[in-house]
Structure 1
Amino acid sequence: MKIIVICGGVSSEKEVSVRSGMAILASVQKKYNAKILLLENDYKIVKNHYSSGDIVFNALHGGYGESGEIQSFFESQEIDFTGSGSEACRIAINKKKSKKIASRLGIKCPHEIQVDPFSKDFNKPFIIKPNKEGSSVGFFIINSKKEMMKAMKSNKGSDVIFEEFVSGRELTVSILNNRVLPIVEIIPESGIYDYESKYSKGKTSYETPAEIGLDTENFLKKKSLEVFNTIGCKGYARIDCILSEENIPYFLEINTSPGMTETSLFPKSANQAGISFDKLIEEIVGLKDKN
């Protein structure tokens, strides 16, 4: 058996994906025969490197790597891969759909609002973000007409969401094989967990486990697992939330292919649970190896 780590892709999260892929490769090479494929447009080349018994470790973020497209191809070719299947990925990457599911399960979600981008007057602040991107790409908090024009230009051609701004503490809940790991609180220096805060050293601090009170912790863990299972996720995923100033949890989105560098949120949560990065990667591989 060999492990084929795939990363790169064509989405705006390509750079992050490569970093995840390299970290995963360094880990799996300690125990397995492994190789890495840096993908671009033609992901079907994976088939040329795959033999029965191999496992593809999907380190792609966003785009065809997280939308269900590559998962559907793997399923049709009987290629064994890590993470959720095509249908779960199609739902999870669509923030509008995943929010509807979370809402039905009893978790509050930020309300979508109607905004005329050409109007001079609008209620602010509010959020503009793409419906199907991660890593805070295209995410803007709007306080002025100028900011709105910048956000619309950045997201040109994308299906965007206009959403109420919920002020509060940013939290993330990681799930590994139906086990909910310790919740992480994200504390960005700027007050906004945007792309720069995520990937610039020293711009963000983290508290693990988050000190949010036992009732809130239990509620978030229970509901996050319900979202994970209702969508049909497999293996692992990460759910992002806001705890409002009124101490009300809000669901934001679910990521079926979370960052897997040694400093990413999912590994931080696993580490707090006593699971080293190498052990985490080994467990993800093991989930497929047992199938």
Structure 2
Amino acid sequence: MGDVLAGFHAAWEFESDSVLIRYERGIRTPKLFQALGERRVPLAALEDVTLTPGRRGTVVLRAVPRAGADPLIEAAAGQLKDAYDPYRLVLPAERETLAEYYADELRGLLTESGPADRHLVAAPSGPLQFKAYDGKAFFDGASVRFRWFWTGASTAKWKAGDQSFPVADLGGVEWRSPDVLEGHLRLVPRHSANEHPAPPDQDPAAVVFGLGYGPVHESLPFAAAVLAAVRGRRPGAGVSSAAARRDPADIAERIRHLGELHEAGLVTDEEFSFKKAELLTEL
């Protein structure tokens, strides 16, 4: 098709095998869209296109992704508000006829339906990081790390120490929106028989959100990137020795935090010695 349809906060560029969605960076544009920048959505990732009346003299053109085709949508698990939906294009009502034309044209190019057997839309690229209420989360493509904060982390998390989870050991990601109570990001082990994990604030495999911590535009792309890495992992593939090797500066920082815990009486002498020796073996 090769045409461009511009709406509020985004523009869709129609190509023969995909739709390139470019998001604006204006002050009124949702921060999630600004964080995404642009996304190329293969037509094979879509199963329908709808056009419906919007609010205040607008119409809404929406592409409907197939289940499992987009890691961002899979990680969101239906929790995104309409304003954050990256597949919605809001247009003035006077452009309804034009929007209907593009909807019909695009709909005629779609040939796939039902769940996708793999991700077809690229995940946000890394490295990624964000601040949660009780710690900071990092993802470098090979592993996820949680570094706990003095002011928010529970005693259980401090005693467990900062955490590192190779992608090869993970089976999924659980994201609960920071827009609701008990929002969090939890890593699901690859082989987990525990159907009732500890509450997120006590679970060393989870970080919890709070007011201003773990916002959607930071934590959801993070969750999507981790989920895409987990889904894209080849059976039996592990993390390379180069990726598994820890940064000495990071180890030193973790030992420093451990020392602060020890001085505060939150870990015993034995726990401090054991954990310090364990960290040193990662160098």
TM-score range, shorter chain: under 0.3
Structure with greater contact order relative to length (CA < 8 Å, sep ≥ 6): 1
Q: TM-score, normalised by structure 2?
A: 0.26
The structure with the larger Rg is 2
